[in-house]
Amino acid sequence: MKILVILPAFLPIDDIRKTVDQIMPGIEIRTDMDFEKDDAEVVVITTFTRFGREEIDKFPNLKFLQVSSTGYNNVDVKYLKSKNIILSNIPRANKDAVAEHVIAMVLAFLKNLIFFDREIRSGEWPLLTNSTELNGKIFGIIGMGAIGIKLVQKLIPFGPGIIYYDVKRLSGEDEELYGLTYMELDDVLKNSDIISVHLPLTENTMKLFDDKHFSMMKDNSIFINTSRGEIMDENALINAIKTKNIYAGIDVYSREPPDFSSELFKLDNVIFSPHIAGVTVESQQRFLQETIGNLIKYTQGLEPLYQIKGDL
Provide the annotated active-site residues. Answer: 228, 256, 275
- Cα(54)–Cα(80) distance, rounded to whole angstroms? 11
Backbone angles phi, psi at 161, to 5 degrees: -80, 135
How many other C-beta atoms can be found within 10 angstroms of the C-beta atom of residue 43?
25
Q: Name the percent of the chain in helix, strand, coil, to the closest 5.
A: 35, 15, 45
Phi, psi of 220 (to 5 degrees): 70, 10
Asked if residue 251 lies in contact with residue 276, where contact means CB atoms within 8 angstroms, the answer is yes
8 A C-beta contact, residue 26 and residue 2 = no
Strand partners, 271: 249
The residue count of the chain comes to 312
